[in-house]
Amino acid sequence: MYVVLNKDRMVIEKEQDVVLYRNRVKEFAVKIGMSLVNQTKLITAASELVRNMLKYANGGVTTIEVISKGRENGIRLIFEDKGPGIADINLAMKDGFSTGKSLGLGLPGAKRLSSEFDIKSTVGKGTSVTLIKWKNG
């Protein structure tokens, strides 16, 4: 299992928070010595998800964690909102599908950029997304 080494929570409620949040994720990624390419992938994935949270659920709570599994270190991000939820997750994970007017790349793109990705959603209750990016993965 994972050991959580360091943890931070951040409430997202307006669009300027996206930039602050990205910077915070970057600080964590730099701290564990993640490569620039992996940092960029992680921050881009984070940006997609935090944007989704704002757009579809008017914000939510994010958790940034430094985790370790064996000898590997990584960053785990959790996004929790109390929005309308996603009726069909398989559909939402398809490239090009969007209920908004966007490109429909956010969720599937964020998954491709992550090492591990998990999404749970209950209609009417909200959505929770967890992603992990390993330092060397």
Partner 1 sequence: MDRIPILRMGNFLLVTIQVDLYDRLAQNLESDLVQMVSKTGARGVLIDISALSIVDSFMGRIIGNIGSVSKIMDAETVVVGMQPAVAITLIELGLELKGVHTALNVERGMQLLKDKILVEDNEPEEE
Q: Which is nearer to partner 1, 103 or 123 (CB)?
A: 103
First-residue to last-residue Cα distance in the chain: 17
Phi-psi category of residue 104: left, alpha or beta, with phi > 0 → left and psi -120 to 50 → alpha: left
Strand 116-122 and strand 126-134: the pairing is: antiparallel
- Judged by CB under 8 A, the residue of 3, 5, 11, 19 near partner 1 is 19
Q: What's the min distance (Å) between Cβ of 129 and partner 1?
A: 15
Q: What's the min distance (Å) between Cβ of 98 and partner 1?
A: 10
Q: What's the min distance (Å) between Cβ of 113 and partner 1?
A: 6
Residues 6+ apart with CB under 8 A from 101: none
* Cα 76 from Cα 94, distance rounded (Å): 23
Residues that bind partner 1 (CB under 8 A): 15-16, 18-19, 22-23, 26, 36-37, 39-41, 43-44, 47-48, 51, 95, 102-103, 105-106, 108-109, 112-113
